[in-house]
Amino acid sequence: MINKKIVRNRLTSVIALISAASMASPVLLAQERSKILLEEVLVTAQKREQNLQQVPVSITSFGAKELERKSITSIIDLEKSSPNTQLRASRATSSTLTAYIRGVGQQDPLWGFEPGVGVYVDDVYYARPQAAVLDVFDVERIEVLRGPQGTLYGKNTVGGAIKYITKKMSGEPSAKITAAAGTYGQQELTLSGQMPIIDNKLYVGAAVAKLERDGYGDVDTGYDITTGLFSSSEENYNKDVTVARVSVEYTPTEKLFLRLAGDKTDDDSNQICGSQSSQTTLTHPATGLPFLASGDRYDSACGTTHKSNVENQGFSFTAQYDINDALSVKYIYADREGETQQFIDFEATPLDSFDVPASYSDDQKSHELQINYNVDRLALVGGAYYFKGNSAGAFDVVLNAPPYMDGDHFDLAIGGDVDTESLSFYFNASYNLSDTVTLTAGLRSTEDDKNSNIQRISYITTNSFPYTTTQGSSFTFGNSADDTLFGVSTDISDKEADKSWNEISPSAKVDWQVSDDVMLYISYAEGFKSGGFDMRGNAALNPNVADGYDPEIVETWELGLKSQLLDDRLRLNLALFQMDYTDMQLTVQTAQPAPVFFSSDVVNAGTAEINGAELEAILQVTQALSTSLALGYMDADLVEVISAGVDVSDSWEMVNAPDWTGQLGLNYEMDLGNAGSLTLTTALSYREASRNFNNVTCSCDQEKSYTLWDATATWYSEDEHWTASLNVKNIEDTSYKTGGYNLGSGELAFYGPPRTVTASVSYQF
């Protein structure tokens, strides 16, 4: 529950801060109302530029100025301002994304599983969560769309989409340099610019960013098994990321636009080690004493010297031809690839008792052809989307149990790859039945084909990670399949399978422009997440895993209000939604004969109902002062979960689906005359408790309710060439979990960032 006294005190502090700033300038309440107007927000959610208030879709849009004002520096920061949205870095990494919208997403970042929330950069779909924790720079706008997507563009997604739209070139030579420094040794440098090669026809642009920060804590390393002592340490929760982007735009005629763009991300941050939140059952071999809970939430004794590395790169080609004022054709080609090396220690001790080194690689190619037609009362969007990708990986589960404490390891290793081929056709039509009523209908037809090759083996070895993998390669594990463990032969399991799925996804909506300032709409949409194959499935125990699992389906009804009130000073948007979530892809227990008794498999085992509401409002109190509210509510219940033939839904919960999320913000803009202008922004963000795993086994994966307080001051020079800002995040240094485990040895937790202070200076010319 919300601590009302704490929230009231924080609100008082926020209001006092803004009030102090207001007293430094003339009273503005008596100004002419015509000057106190909200800025128009333009979006392209329906593949054409529209005013946000005229789009019958639940969407949150962040323009470049708002991103700067709120100090939104990565995709993760968006969750604070977007209702019913959860965006987190996945376990032990800083660049793999776990994304949920309205309780729908992808919990396991393992290769082969499909994301529930689509991430797009300039209409290019990112198929894998690795390297999807995108930093924000050189961005014109970010849109967060809630609900099933698929009848307007690209790849189908069941929960929603996050779309990055980078800045288009203006045609004028320009450059911008931004330098930032902050607590924990933060050092960042961003350079961007553009220049014309042929005036009004050919332009080249580029941007590069180097983002570094020391760790929030330390990892004890150099463990001596004979003394139980550590000889060194490494940084925990540090950041070392390099990002580069280049693009060429060519407009040979007024009707033809061509763009070639490429980007690369290299993340050399250390693996993130979790902290033991309780005393472990594991003991020091030298002393026999248990490993104690971590003294600081960012410190760990996992003892590893393993590094993680994520590389992701790609290029895209876009061609758009305007046949006439009403008809245009657009083609998008994209080619992306990525490599990930990471290490996860599930017990946070220096013992190799539950360590998982992992390697992933993926590539994807896509083609999209789109036709847009707008004339009089009719707007049509139609297209075809083709996707072909390969996702490969391998990981070791290193279980160093007696009598193998002398260097030998008992390992469970899994490796394989999944080929995916998807062909979709989509169509969306909007027709104005009258000047105030519009009817929209859409349809998507999708055929997905997948081929999976997986090898699973248990073995004994002296190597902690005895193999590497590249895409499409075969995998070799261990020393010998003839080794025995406690008299039982090691097991080998191989499976190769292919399967196809066909899905039809309709959508329909009616919107009514009640007045110039108020619109009501009702919509229905179906979405699906493709089927696949369980990368961890044991074909030796359960041959049925080779059959794979089928798509999961979401049917969503939404009733919405878009309004601009009080002489355009108040923007108030409301959405009520009801979702039926069927054939959920869940990891459950499958009964097996003795002596095994059960196995863990991903099957279509669940049904859920999700009801909720989203409120977004912004009030321009005076010409200088505005306040904003983003509020989300969800009631997400698992109706049925069949595990080992029994309905266990009473003991299971929906993951990453907090009942309440919200943000209350204030923004004050001061005109300093010849000295420029100053903008003060502050916000309280609240998130109620939620879980990371469906099956409730421990308190470690319980994220308790918490409130974060952030504030930013931004100064702009009169000519807007110079910008300087000071930002403080998590002002009260609130401790909050972002993930956790308990695999038998003790409770392990990962935490969100502590209080951080960042100062930055930009010069644009």
Are 751 and 739 within 8 A, CB to CB? no
- DSSP, collapsed to helix, strand or coil, labels residue 602 as strand
Q: Quote the CA–CA distance of 236 and 156 in Å, as a whole number.
A: 37
In this model, does residue 30 exceed pLDDT 70? Answer: no
DSSP of 504-556: EEEEEEEEEE-SSSEEEEEEEEEEEE--B--TT--TTT-GGGGG-BPPEEEEE
Contact 61, 52 (CB under 8 A): yes
Average pLDDT score over the chain = 84
Residue 22 parent element (H or E): helix 4-22
- Identify the top-confidence range among 354-363, 483-492, 498-507: 498-507
pLDDT confidence tier of residue 342, bands split at 50, 70 and 90: confident
* CATH code where residue 613 lies: 2.40.170.20
pLDDT-derived band of residue 196, with 50, 70 and 90 as boundaries? Answer: very high
pLDDT in tens, 352-367: 777 788 888 999 999 9
Q: Higher pLDDT residue, 337 or 548? A: 337
Please say whether the beta carbons of 418 and 451 come within 8 A. Answer: yes
Question: Which position has the higher pLDDT, 17 or 699?
Answer: 699
Model confidence at 74: pLDDT above 80: yes
For the entire predicted model, the pTM comes to: 0.89
Beta bridge partner(s), residue 247: 205, 261
Q: What value, to the nearest 5°, has the Cα angle with vertex 233 and ends 230 and 238?
A: 150
Domain coverage including residue 483: 4-764
Residues 6+ apart with CB under 8 A from 746: 276, 277, 278, 279, 280, 281, 282, 291, 293, 347, 348
As a whole number, mean pLDDT of residues 296-300 equals: 89
For the chain, how many structural domains are there in total?
A: 1
> Is the bond into 403 cis (omega within 30 degrees of 0)?
yes
Which pLDDT tens digit goes with each residue over 254-296?
A: 999 999 999 999 999 988 988 887 777 777 777 777 777 777 8
Q: Mean per-residue pLDDT for 473-483? A: 37
Range with the largest mean pLDDT of 596-600, 703-707, 721-725: 721-725
Q: How far apart are CA 38 and CA 668, in angstroms?
A: 14
Token pair 């600081």 is found at 296
Which run of H or E residues covers position 650?
none
